[in-house]
Amino acid sequence: MNRYAMLQNLRSHEGIWDILVIGGGATGLGIAVDSAARGFKTLLLEQNDFAKGTSSRSTKLVHGGVRYLQQGGISLVIEALKERGLMIQNAPHLVSNQVFVIPNYSWWDGPFYHLGLKLYDFMSGDLGIGSSKRISVEETISYIPTIDQKGLVGGVIYFDCQFDDARMAISLAKTAAQFNGVLLNYMKVEKIIKNEEGIVEGVMALDLETKEKHKIQSKVIINATGVFADAVKKMDDPDAREMIQPSQGTHVVLDASFLPDKYAIMVPHTKDGRILFAVPWHNKVIVGTTDTLVEKPLLEPHFQLQEVEFILETASQYLSKKPTKKDVLSVFSGLRPLLKPEGNKQSTKEISRHHKVMISSSGLITVIGGKWTTYRKMAEDTVDNAILLGRLKASPCITNDLPIFGYYKNLNITEDPLAVYGAEKQDLLDLETENPTYGDVISESLPLKISQVIWAVRHEMSRTIEDMLARRVRGLFLDVNESLRIAPKVAQVMASELHKSPDWIKNQLKEFRATARHYQLVDDETYS
């Protein structure tokens, strides 16, 4: 998957595209996969990098949603549990089973949570991945040696899945490309074009790298821009009612010593009713999340200090080693594209997580809501609507059993840092055989080798230091200071591959340092 080749495919394309997707996050990429796999001429345009926004900032869980079960969202949980099963089936190099422990500090907690999780297991049907059970105090401590033992009376374990969200996005892009889909990052849609009847028929797009403008025609245009969906809708209709209520979720990242084994903690009731997770991921621990309404979506949202304090305070109630601000390696925030509630609902807990596919009077399709776990179902529903609207040839969805690019079963994805490359892992290693210097280590702790940087530029459309260190590997999310330390070396390798000048390196480092500030926890006064 090479940007120059994709750009040439766009330039040389003759005729009208069947489906044009605006947005390169989980939703847009899923739609591109579904559309291209059905045989439609498919084009996806993303104004930044793939999964730059919400889709790289999740809690890294593929789950049915225990929280939604508590709230009575049975249909959403059933749908998500089915999709969870399909994700681990179709992308075993990226999705793995994760055991969760709910520590019990009250005698009533055990039977209460066990009963609810048995229902959770039952709703998984044939795609279940494990059976929940109650465990003793001794077993709870053996699973989570760092659990606070004061008042502990036992625990409950249950099973969900974990994945690498940004790497899944790249694999989806490559899957769509396998079916002749054309996908371009850094291609900004500036205008929606309509015919004399006021029906959408294309877009004007600007290549942010070459500054070349493209007039593109398509039978169907799909707005899959997540928290920015309202902005695209207003391109279509300046008077369109706003549909998105962004909700911010913040996570802190700690050293593995806080959760040294492979098991995760789920806290079902915090002091304000939220759920909190502490999950081992890439030899670090992710703790979160918050659920805070925000007024306007930002491409690079910034955490609020009180969110970090809430997470650390809550985690300290359950861990024998109490995390402090000094222990935080990185902080990241993402915005959930929730459907704006009717009436006066203020709590995010009251807002539906179901996705919704809408068609405007001009024929623009907009899909909003949902979550990573249900990306495939969201895509199926959207493409089904696109077929009817665009009068495309009826073609069944095949993604239910479609292997995601890189599909490979025999990789240890919890311990092997190269497992996320799936079937391409050997190709990556072959680079190092061809040129032994490519095997040089840039960072031991992330980890990162020169070969991965070269691979990301040549085969994954990585264009900036941030693309590389935030999404092709997850350094910015795992350890912001280590990422800043190695950024100059990464810039040098990328500049050589992209044939860029020393000025490019200088500008890239300046931009990366500015972005990194959004992931750094510094003195309190900075965010007061």
- C-alpha–C-alpha distance, residues 180 and 334, integer Å: 31
Let me know if residue 256 belongs to a domain: yes
Three-class DSSP labels, 436-474: HHHHCEEECCCCEEHHHHHHHHHHCCCCCHHHHHHHHCC
Ramachandran category for residue 130: left, alpha or beta (phi over 0 → left; psi -120 to 50 → alpha):
left
Assess whether 461 and 379 both reside in one domain: no
Assess whether 252 and 235 both reside in one domain: no
pLDDT at position 527:
36
Q: What is the pTM of this model?
A: 0.94
* Tens digits of residue pLDDT in 3-33: 999 999 999 998 999 999 999 999 999 999 9
End-to-end CA distance of the chain: 44
Assess whether 517 and 452 both reside in one domain: yes
pLDDT at position 114:
81
Let me know if residue 409 belongs to a domain: no
Helix 480-498 and helix 450-459, axial crossing angle in degrees, nearest 10: 60
Let me know if residue 187 belongs to a domain: yes
Let me know if residue 408 belongs to a domain: no
Cis peptide bond prior to 145, omega within 30° of 0: no
Q: How far is CA 19 from the centre of its chain?
A: 23
Residue with the larger pLDDT of the pair 66 and 396: 396
Of 227, 249, 245, 228, nearest in space to 304 by CA: 249
pLDDT at position 526:
38
- pLDDT band at 528, cuts 50/70/90? very low
* Tens digits of residue pLDDT in 115-136: 888 888 888 888 888 889 999 9
Query: Quick check: 414 pLDDT over 60?
Result: yes
Assess whether 220 and 266 both reside in one domain: no
Let me know if residue 116 belongs to a domain: yes
Which domain does 390 fall in, by range? 3-50+166-241+353-401
- pLDDT band at 469, cuts 50/70/90? very high
Q: At 146, which CATH number?
A: 3.30.9.10
Assess whether 66 and 32 both reside in one domain: no
Number of other residues whose CB lies within 10 A of the CB of residue 225: 28
R_g over Cα of the chain:
23
- With residues binned 3-state (H G I as helix, E B as strand, rest as coil), the percentages for the chain, rounded to 5, are 40, 25, 35
- C-alpha–C-alpha distance, residues 376 and 357, integer Å: 14
Cis peptide bond prior to 175, omega within 30° of 0: no
Assess whether 338 and 358 both reside in one domain: no
Assess whether 331 and 460 both reside in one domain: no
Let me know if residue 410 belongs to a domain: no
For residue 236, which amino acid is it? D
Query: Quick check: 343 pLDDT over 60?
Result: no
Domain stops at, among 289, 316, 349:
349
The rounded mean pLDDT for the chain is: 92
Assess whether 109 and 256 both reside in one domain: yes
* Tens digits of residue pLDDT in 183-224: 999 999 999 999 999 999 999 999 999 999 999 999 999 999
Query: Quick check: 525 pLDDT over 80?
Result: no
Q: What are phi and psi of 25, to 5 degrees?
A: -95, -160
Query: Quick check: 495 pLDDT over 70?
Result: yes
Let me know if residue 406 belongs to a domain: no
Assess whether 226 and 331 both reside in one domain: no
pLDDT at position 274:
77
pLDDT at position 330:
97
Let me know if residue 274 belongs to a domain: yes
Q: At 424, which CATH number?
A: 1.10.8.870
- Please list the residues that pair with 16 across neighbouring strands: none
Domain stops at, among 334, 349, 364:
349
Locate the DSSP E strands across 282-397. Answer: 284-288, 292-293, 330-339, 356-359, 365-368
Domain stops at, among 336, 370, 401:
401
* Tens digits of residue pLDDT in 143-175: 999 999 999 999 999 999 999 999 999 999 999
- C-alpha–C-alpha distance, residues 23 and 185, integer Å: 9
Assess whether 231 and 250 both reside in one domain: no
pLDDT at position 98:
95
The helix/strand/coil state of 49 is coil
Q: At 23, which CATH number?
A: 3.50.50.60
Report the domain count for the chain.
3
Assess whether 358 and 342 both reside in one domain: no
Q: Could you tell me whether strands 42-45 and 17-22 are parallel, antiparallel, or unpaired per DSSP bridges?
A: parallel
Assess whether 369 and 225 both reside in one domain: yes
